[in-house]
Amino acid sequence: MKIENVKIYDLEESVKASKYPMSVKNELLNSKITKMSIKLGNSSGGHDQFLTGITVNFDLTFTNKAFIELTRYRFINFISSNSTMHRIAEFDLKNQYNKYVDPRMINIMEELKNTYNETKLPEDYLKLLYSNPSGFELTARLTTNYRSLKNVYYQRRNHRLPEWREFCDWVLTLPHFKELCIKNEVE
């Protein structure tokens, strides 16, 4: 798992917006994180809605298996990604698999790739595509928000796949994430 090109937007603006429900003088509001901001961010049931405004964009290199699981999160959007459909016959396969893929499988995939590249037969392409192990790594540009990442964190922090645990460790490094999203747990 690898994360690069991280950009975070509207953290201060969203913290300020968290104060709107109890405000009658919006011009006096600021982006200082208060006890109320922390309480709201650590709650559920919609009270943490302001976290949705804190946008996070990043490039994520993940396995096929983890990306399939990632798609269940409705508010993590794929902007663009590497494509097995278009490029599986061109990838340097030995460098695309994580350490858990059996080297024998990689050799089989290399054979299937070479066969397809020689024949260009649709049947050989499908054999290559459908034989691809779950440990195949691709990179995608994603956009999400703190509220969605909070949900991912709570659901995946103890997951069997090590890359999910690594991803959750990364989430904890985002500016003010611990404080706004899981403070009650880390104290």
2-80+137-186: in CATH 3.30.1360.170: yes
CA 24 distance to own-chain centroid: 38
pTM attached to this predicted model: 0.91
The two three-digit tokens of residue 83, written as one number:
């494509």
Orientation of helix 103-119 relative to helix 122-131, angle to 10°:
160
pLDDT of 112: 98
- H/E stretch holding 158: none
Domain layout of the chain by residue ranges: 2-80+137-186, 89-131
Average pLDDT (59-82) is: 93
CA distance linking residue 146 with residue 10, whole number of Å: 11
Q: Which residue has the tokens 């691709």?
A: 138
CA distance linking residue 99 with residue 6, whole number of Å: 25
Average pLDDT (17-46) is: 92
Residue 2 phi/psi, 5° resolution? -145, 140
51: Cβ–Cβ under 8 A, 6 or more apart, which residues?
A: 14, 41, 145, 146, 147, 150, 180, 181
Question: What percent of the chain clears pLDDT 70, i.e. is strictly above it?
Answer: 98
pLDDT of 184: 63
User: Tell me: the pLDDT tens digits for 90-148?
Assistant: 999 999 999 999 999 999 999 999 999 999 999 999 999 999 999 999 999 999 999 99
Average pLDDT (25-51) is: 92
pLDDT band for 61, please (50, 70, 90 cuts): very high
pLDDT of 67: 94
User: Tell me: the pLDDT tens digits for 147-181?
Assistant: 999 999 999 999 999 999 999 999 999 999 999 99
Q: Average model confidence (pLDDT) for the chain?
A: 94
Answer whether residue 186 shows pLDDT above 80. no
3-state secondary structure of 187: coil
pLDDT band for 187, please (50, 70, 90 cuts): very low
